[in-house]
Amino acid sequence: MKLTDIKTFVVGNPPPGNGGRYFIFVKLTTDGNVHGVGEAYSVPFDPHLVARMLEDVFRRYFVGEDPHHIEKIWRRVYSAGFTQHPDLSMMGVLSALEMACWDIIGKEAGQPVYNLLGGKVHERLRTYTYIYARPGDKTDVYQDPELSAERAVEYLAQGFTAIKFDPAGPYTAFDGRQLSLPALDLCERFVKLLREAVGTRADLLFGTHGQMTAAGAIRLARRLEPYDPLWFEEPVPPDAPEEMARVARATSIPIAAGERLTTKYDFARVLRAGAAAILQMNLGRVGGILEAKKIAAMAEVQHVQLAPHLYCGPVVGAANIQLATCSPNFLILESIERWQGFHADILLRPVRWEQGYVIPPTEPGLGVELNEAFIAKHPYTGERLHLEMTGTPQT
């Protein structure tokens, strides 16, 4: 079996845009006409340029190769250009291509990918969602704790048993910083009202995006501790796990982190530092499915759990599901609400979500297929990136 062809898709995500402004998908085909799909997460270049990057890397390292040879191909791409370093852009590209190879491998074997990585451990996968804005909201749900609490109760009624929110204000290129006293008060009010609203029926997941210094994060954590969140997410920027470990040692709230990290080398630093109790790798950035499985095994040794990150499209979501299903230390899976709407329309068969849980697919490969006729009607024509930080300091 040899890889022969590649096709890329840059898909615009219409309002409300939950999951990002666009999704970048790839489809690989073999000489036996077996195809596999993948997705790259948040590579920091124009998405149409990223599509060309996918094609370039495929041409250099994948075409003519047997897709089963994941380790060999991975090392060649990781070392491309005399690098051998966790490069976020290259690893995002590699993740999409590697993911598509696993889809092909599973289809050739007639097995879901999780059966090729140890087999099914979990019959169903607990999920959580962010509290998202909706058309017609009279206030900003991200800054209105009363509306956020109302929406959390609605999510409970749908079956969710965990809710994430991030009231800590904008994140900027100049973080970390100390939060202002009004910002600290707002964060505390959010978690207090949400806890009152959901009681013990749901875990609260306090999200941040590396806004704080370690000292600032510790100040906030002390305000949050009485309400017993399941986690405090990425409290400091991702480039200094030793600083994140200072926060972990100073609070009883478990620290979750990893969406902006890539490869086992980045995650090894986190584990060695004792910086996180929960790892949130994104499979469209981390280096692919096998790399994520290696990180999961490293984490298992230290009794660290997994909560795969998802703020992109459903192909990364499908890869997350495969990893979660076969990982003993899986904790919870991020959903974008119930995988409905545009996220379902992208696929020929939507992800199966039932009362707060994803049911792992039994179909071979990743268990999803792109609806190419549908996504052809939704090209991304903008110039902004998938996610962007504020370019000025926050005062």
When pLDDT is cut at 50, 70 and 90, the band that residue 367 belongs to is: very high
Q: Has residue 133 got a pLDDT over 90?
A: yes
In a domain, 222, yes or no: yes
Number of Cβ within 10 Å of residue 110's Cβ equals 10
Question: Could you tell me the CA-to-CA distances from 194 to 183, 189, 220, 301, 339 in Å, in that order?
Answer: 17, 8, 16, 34, 23
Return the bridge partners of 204, or none: 163
93 and 219 inside one domain: no
Judge if 132 and 94 occupy the same domain.
Answer: no
Rounded to whole angstroms, the Cα distance separating 43 from 77 reads 16
Q: What is the pLDDT confidence band of residue 255, given thresholds at 50, 70 and 90?
A: very high
On whether both 228 and 162 belong to a single domain, the answer is: yes
How long is the chain? 395
Please report whether residue 384 resides in a domain: no
Question: pLDDT tens-digit profile of 34-83?
Answer: 999 999 999 999 999 999 999 999 999 999 999 999 999 999 999 999 99
Quick check: is 387 in a domain?
no
Counting Cβ atoms within 10 Å, is residue 59 exposed (0-12), middle (13-18) or buried (19+)?
exposed
Both tokens assigned to 134: 């909706």
Mean pLDDT (the chain) is 97
What CATH number corresponds to the domain at position 49? Answer: 3.30.390.10
Query: pLDDT at residue 394 above 90?
Result: no
Summarised one tens digit per residue, pLDDT across range 266-307 is 999 999 999 999 999 999 999 999 999 999 999 999 999 999
Cα 309 to Cα 167: distance, rounded to the nearest angstrom = 19
Indicate whether 263 and 331 sit together in one domain. yes
Looking at the fold, whether 84 and 149 belong to one and the same domain comes out as no
Active-site positions read 209, 309
Query: Is 350 part of a structural domain of the chain?
Result: yes
Note whether residue 24 is domain-resident: yes
The pLDDT score that the predictor gives to residue 118 is 97
Instruction: Give yes or no for a cis peptide into 360 (omega within 30° of 0).
Output: no
**Residue at 77 is within a domain:** yes
Q: What percent of the chain has pLDDT over 90?
A: 99
Number of compact structural domains in the chain: 2
Exposed / middle / buried, residue 268 (Cβ in 10 Å: 0-12, 13-18, 19+): middle
Q: What is the pLDDT of residues 310-329, one digit of tens each?
A: 999 999 999 999 999 999 99
pLDDT at 395 over 80: no
For residues 36 and 67, the answer to whether their CB atoms sit within 8 Å is yes
pLDDT confidence of residue 8? 98
User: And the tokens for 209?
Assistant: 């995006």
Same domain, 63 and 79: yes
224 and 354 both lie in a single domain = yes
Domain enclosing residue 282, as ranges: 115-366
Whether residue 206 sits in one domain with residue 102 = no
Domain final residue pick, 72, 92, 111: 111
User: 41 and 175: one domain?
Assistant: no
Tell me which of 61, 84, 111 is where a domain ends. Answer: 111
Residues 162 and 201 in one domain: yes
Sign, CA dihedral 78-258-260-251, equals negative
Question: Does the pLDDT value for residue 169 go beyond 90?
Answer: no
Q: What is the mean pLDDT of residues 191-217?
A: 98
Q: Classify residue 177: in a domain, yes or no.
A: yes
Backbone angles phi, psi at 224, to 5 degrees: -85, -25
Q: What is the mean pLDDT of residues 219-248?
A: 98
160 and 206 fall within a common domain: yes
CA dihedral sign of residues 95, 99, 105, 106: positive
What are the start-end ranges of the H helices in 113-179?
A: 113-116, 145-158
* Domain of residue 297, CATH code: 3.20.20.120
136 plus 51 within the same structural domain: no
174 inside domain: yes
